Amino acid sequence: MSTISNVKYEAVIGLEVHAQLLTKSKAFAAVSSEYGGAPNRQVTPLCLGHPGTLPVLNENLVRYTIKMGLATGCKISEKSIFARKNYFYPDLPKGYQISQYDTPICYEGSIEIELEDYVKEIGITRIHMEEDAGKSIHDQDPYHTLVDLNRAGTPLIEIVSEPDLRTPREAYEYLKKIRQIVQYLDVCDGNMEEGSLRCDANVSIRPRGQKELGTRTELKNMNSFRNVERAITFEIERQIELVENGGKVIQQTLLWDPNKLETRQMRSKEEAHDYRYFPEPDLPPIIVNESLLEDIQSELPELPDKRLLRFVEQSGLSRDEAAILTDNRYLADYFEEAIGFLNEPKAISNVILTEVLRVLNEKSIHINEFTITPKQLSGLIQLKLEDKINSSAMQTIFNELLESDKEPIELAAVMNLIQVSDSGFLEPIIDEVMESNPDEVKRYREGKKALISFFIGQVMKQSKGKANPKLVREMVAVKLDGTE
Ligand code: ADP
Ligand code: MG
């Protein structure tokens, strides 16, 4: 991309990421916040904005947010408050969103991102708690907009980065890292397509060397990782072209159109004062004491960067292998479960990175839906390592395991695939192959040694793939070279 590595300008990017929390109930009401229910069935009078209803804080909203804060090196406020963010929208019956304004519960953290040839620390300005609005549906009725309030009041965290990102790729890696962390912490499923992870990108450009930031635009509606990278790329190029042609960037909110691959104006950018933020009078301040912090700290799982290093050090995997395995927490769990049954990390990682990932890709499924259990997989690999089956049998059994809950050894026996390393069994087969191919035997003995592969192939075929290829090769060579 020519303009991205533009010598004259550099881009500045800051991301605001919203993550929908996996709490069972809503932020301030005792009703399920689960995604995908029938419209307007998960609502209480509070979600409908009825007068006289009062919010009650879901403790897990606080705990999950602090978890994320600790995992990203944030400071945690001892005392913070909720604020009302006021605006009118049909899917916001209360007329305001409960959020946090000048006292976010977590602040001044950072995460590390890794690019091809450098590592970079990206500042996290703040992580605050808020509730989601409902959903307006414009494409189901030709005349009306429909409103589903199931999502109204669903707990969210907003993670705001410092304007530390410089390229679309950095933004992409940052977002991936955020997703990886929320998944590891089990606070959000990280699904961008379903909207449980959403990202707004703030983009500006400035002449290289300039300190002050340029005027930014804010991009919305990018519902995949690829689209985030694409939209930012598009926007940087648009701004450079605009400025080069004597124009000026105006601060505005832009919508990414994933079909046309371009941004278009949505509205001029709102300012904080437009929202008339004021302290939420119906909720007490959030007080975080030492013992709550210690409690949450002790629940933190091992985070991806650390796990990657451990896989390299303990299991002897390469960094690349460990990076792919730990990219997804559940894939890493699968790997660890498998090596619990058979301590052969390298062999197990090989099969996961090739065969298992291939199947997940082909079927478009998640590792949690994969039908071969870690125990079955390690059993299969053990058969191969012990030379009880050969590679082609391994492949056959692997495919069979996708639809079977039998143990690999049982399948190998039933399918008659246990490798034969018994020379008594092989000898008559080799004799027969030689007898029925006298010309080849002759040519081999006249010096065409490459024909040995032909004989091995024939013997393997006659043994129905069960023969140990190493043994076959040795025996065939002896027989062919032997004088008669
Ligand atoms: P708002 O809530 O109005 O969008 P914030 O001050 O919370 O504003 O900033 C939102 C994001 O915009 C942050 O991630 C910040 O890093 C980023 N940002 C601020 N100024 C710029 C700029 N000039 N260029 C690019 N990103 C910026
Ligand atoms: Mg914003």
Ligand 1 touching residue 12 (CB < 6 A)? yes
CA 442 to CA 480: how far, in whole Å? 9
Residue 291: other Cβ atoms inside 10 A: 8
Which residues, at least 6 apart from 101, have a Cβ–Cβ distance to it below 8 Å?
A: 83, 85, 272, 277
At residue 80, the pLDDT reads 97
Helix (H, G, I), strand (E, B) or coil at 270: coil
Three-class SS state of 207: strand
Question: Which amino acid, residue 74?
Answer: C
Domain boundaries, the chain: 9-292, 302-414, 423-480
Distance, first Cα to last Cα, the chain: 70
Sign of CA dihedral 183, 186, 192, 194: positive
Percent pLDDT > 90 in the chain is: 82
Report the distance separating Cα 166 and Cα 205, nearest Å.
Answer: 9
**Residues paired with residue 267 on neighbouring β-strands, in sequence order:** 253
Q: From 125, 160, 268, 270, give the residue whose CB has the most ligand 1 atoms within 8 Å, as the site to mutate.
A: 160
Tell me which DSSP letter residue 222 carries: -
Q: Among 307-311, 390-394, 396-400, which is the least confidently predicted range? A: 390-394
Nearest CA to ligand 1 atom 22: 216
The ligand 1 atom nearest the CA atom of 16: 14
- Closest ligand 1 atom, CA of 204? 24
261 phi-psi bin (left φ>0, alpha ψ -120 to 50, beta other): left
Residues 172-220 have pLDDT tens digits of: 999 999 999 999 999 999 999 888 999 999 999 999 999 999 999 999 9
3-class SS string, 155-176:
EEEEEEECCCECCHHHHHHHHH
**Å from CA of 309 to ligand 1 middle:** 33
Structure tokens belonging to residue 302: 């091992």
- How far does residue 199's CA lie from ligand 1's centre (Å)? 13
Alpha-carbon distance of 318 to 308, in angstroms, equals 10
Residue entry with tokens 């140990």:
468
Q: Which amino acid is at 456?
A: I
**Residue 481: both structure tokens together:** 């070279």
Tell me the C-alpha distance between 257 and 344, whole Å.
48
Q: What pLDDT shows up at residue 1?
A: 45
Question: Tokens at residue 227, please?
Answer: 């689209």
Taking the CA of residue 202 as reference, the ligand 1 atom at the shortest distance is: 26
Residue 10 pLDDT greater than 50, yes or no: yes
Please tell me what DSSP assigns to residue 440.
H
Please tell me the distance from the alpha carbon of residue 420 to that of residue 441, in angstroms, as a whole number: 24
Per-residue pLDDT at 3? 45
Nearest atom (ligand 1) to Cα of 162: 16
- CA–CA distance, 146 with 260 (Å, rounded to integer): 26
pLDDT of residue 250: 93
pLDDT tens figures, 87-105: 999 999 999 999 999 999 9
Q: Calculate the alpha carbon distances from 365 to 158, 194, 359, 466 in Å.
A: 28, 15, 8, 33
Protein fold of 423-480: Arc Repressor Mutant, subunit A (1.10.10)
